[in-house]
Amino acid sequence: MSDLLQIIDREGNKVGTVPRVKKEVFLNMYRAMVRTRAFDDRCMKLQRTGKVGFSVPNRGIEAVSVGAAAALDISKDWVAPHYRDFGIMLYHGVSPERMMDTMFGNEADSAVGRQMPVHFSFRKPLNFLSISSPLGTQVPQAVGIAMAMKTRGEDGAVLTTFGDGSTSASGFHSGMNWAGVFNSPTVFLCQNNQWAISCPSEQQTKSSSYAIKGEAYGVPGVRVDGNDVLAMYRAVSQAVKRARAGDGPTLIEAVTFRMGGHSTSDDPTKYVDPELVTYWEQRDPIVRFSAFLHAEGILNEAADATLREEAKDEMLTAARAAEAKPVPVLTSVFEDVFEETPAHLKKQSAFCVDHYSSRGEGVNEKGEFPL
């Protein structure tokens, strides 16, 4: 893997130039990675006990999302994400409880229960577009936002993430093409976790890599060790810098491995060779970064253990808080599109309440969704 950008190897040894940032940044990255795994673990348990309907395993890809997140300036950069991006939100201070609100689809959920679990959307503290399940639709959207920034003369960049499977979707090609032609300040981050649900990379593309696909659109491509958070940080930082400088888009391929199913509805043991899982477990991004931080004297055993325990407790507490909140009110279905609800929607809202009330469902203004 010589064409791969790597800064720390699987044992945590330095093999490249370590980014010159404050120790706190390293610690924030590490904490976000540990918290991402803890959030993921908690969501899996919530789903298996029937408390939430669905989740998307994030195990193994923590360095990709956290490394990329750390390279952004959220006062001006936007994110057009895909569904394996817990780390971006957690790094930038979205509280686990707000994320859990979306997992449960409760009344505090930013999407008011109208999205599937995991399909987060936030305006604060960062502009994080609503995750959409269809593959690659966020790519041209990201290019559009970036073009708007460019037209307005702002120096923001837009990070869009997607999996290896999305490179076969039309959105990837139209987005990449536009970005190449019009030099949009976009960072394309392909999370190559080896699997598009159960479809392996060798059945996904005949290209020698995903990064090389950029050449077709005149967009430079970079391959990065996606389990090396510092390499991810370096690659995305450089891409963001290029975007801000008006040098246009970059395609980054983060080579990583999904250490779980595609989603809670998937059984990876049916198609993933267990030896492959062992191979990647030895390249665990958290273990590797932890070893680096210990060697650098930034983190010690005790602090590491405390941090992991705290992350577990934090996610459990967040889940309990979100679980305790009621589901959204029935009438919320008619809100949020218009600033002032028009007459025909008011009429429909009244009919709806009346109809479900008469059947003992949905009940009243503070009632439940008739699901």
Partner 1 sequence: MSNLEFPLPDIGEGVHEGEIVQWLIPEGGAVAEDDPVVEIMTDKATVEIPSPGTGVIAKHLFGAGEVANVGDVIFIISSDGAVADSPSSAPEVAEEEKPVSAPVVVEKTAPADLPAVTRREDGKVLAAPATRRLARELGVDLTTIRGSGPNGRIRPEDVRTQQSAPPAVPTTPTAPTAPAAVVPTFAATSGAHEEERTPFRGIRRKTAEAMSRSKFTAPHFSLIEEVDCTDLVDIRNRAKVASEKYGIKVTYMPYIMKAAAIALMEYPQLNAMLDEEAQEVVVKKYVNLGIAVDTPNGLMVPVVKDVHLKGLLQISAELAEVAGRAREGKAKAEDFQGSTFTISNAGNIGGILATPIINFPEVAIMGVHSMRKMPRCIGDDIVARQIMNLSISIDHRLVDGADGARFMVRMRELLEDPALMLL
Among 12, 19, 53, 220, binds partner 1 (CB under 8 A): 53
Rounded to a whole number of angstroms, the minimum distance from the CB of residue 265 to partner 1 is 4
Q: Give the burial string for 97-115 (b: 16+ CB within 10 Å, else e).
A: bbbbbbbbbbebbbbbbeb
Using rule CB under 8 A, residue 203 touches partner 1: no
Rounded to a whole number of angstroms, the minimum distance from the CB of residue 53 to partner 1 is 7
Q: In the annotation, is 262 catalytic?
A: yes
Rounded to a whole number of angstroms, the minimum distance from the CB of residue 48 to partner 1 is 5
Among 13, 203, 269, 282, binds partner 1 (CB under 8 A): 269
Question: At what angle are helices 229-244 and 285-295 packed, to 10 degrees?
Answer: 90
Q: What phi-psi label fits residue 100: left (phi over 0), alpha (psi between -120 and 50 degrees) or beta? A: alpha
Rounded to a whole number of angstroms, the minimum distance from the CB of residue 189 to partner 1 is 27
Using rule CB under 8 A, residue 133 touches partner 1: no
Tokens of 310: 């705290």
Q: How many CB atoms lie within 10 A of CB 353?
A: 19
The single residue of 37, 234, 262, 288 carrying the catalytic annotation is 262
The single residue of 258, 283, 288, 356 carrying the catalytic annotation is 258
Among 20, 50, 301, 340, binds partner 1 (CB under 8 A): 50
Alpha helices by DSSP H, 197-300:
229-244, 274-281, 285-295
Using rule CB under 8 A, residue 363 touches partner 1: yes
* Stretch of 179-187, 239-247, 265-273, 332-340 lying at the interface with partner 1 (CB under 8 A): 265-273
Q: Taking a C-beta distance cutoff of 8 angstroms, is the pair 333, 352 a contact?
A: yes
Fill in the per-residue mask, 90 to 109: x = in contact with partner 1 (CB under 8 A), - = not in contact.
Answer: --------------------
Fill in the per-residue mask, 235 to 264: x = in contact with partner 1 (CB under 8 A), - = not in contact.
Answer: --------------------------x--x
Nearest 5°: phi and psi at 128? Answer: -120, 105
Among 3, 18, 23, 48, binds partner 1 (CB under 8 A): 48
Q: In the annotation, is 244 catalytic?
A: no
Using rule CB under 8 A, residue 267 touches partner 1: yes
Spell out the residues 6+ positions from residue 131 whose beta carbon is closer than 8 angstroms to its own. 81, 82, 83, 85, 115, 118, 119, 120, 121, 138
Pairing mode, if any, of strands 250-255 and 186-192?
Answer: parallel
Q: Give the burial string for 181-200 (b: 16+ CB within 10 Å, else e).
A: eebbbbbbbbbbbbbbeeee
Which amino acid does the sequence have at 292?
A: F
Side-chain-side CA neighbours of residue 340 (13 Å): 1
Q: In the annotation, is 320 catalytic?
A: no
Tokens of 186: 């976009």
For the chain, give the longest Cα–Cα distance. Answer: 69
Among 13, 265, 300, 306, binds partner 1 (CB under 8 A): 265
Using rule CB under 8 A, residue 359 touches partner 1: yes
* Stretch of 106-114, 165-173, 250-258, 354-362 lying at the interface with partner 1 (CB under 8 A): 354-362
With respect to partner 1, which residue has the nearer C-beta, 193 or 264? Answer: 264
The 8-class DSSP code of residue 218 comes to T
Using rule CB under 8 A, residue 274 touches partner 1: no
Q: Which residues pair with 196 in a beta bridge?
A: 199
- The number of angstroms, rounded, from the C-alpha of 300 to the middle of its chain's C-alpha atoms is 29
The single residue of 48, 271, 279, 355 carrying the catalytic annotation is 271
With respect to partner 1, which residue has the nearer C-beta, 19 or 268? Answer: 268
Using rule CB under 8 A, residue 357 touches partner 1: yes
Among 47, 106, 141, 191, binds partner 1 (CB under 8 A): 47
Contact footprint for partner 1 (CB under 8 A)? 45, 47-51, 53-54, 261, 264-267, 269-270, 357-361, 363-364, 368
Catalytic positions: 258, 262, 271
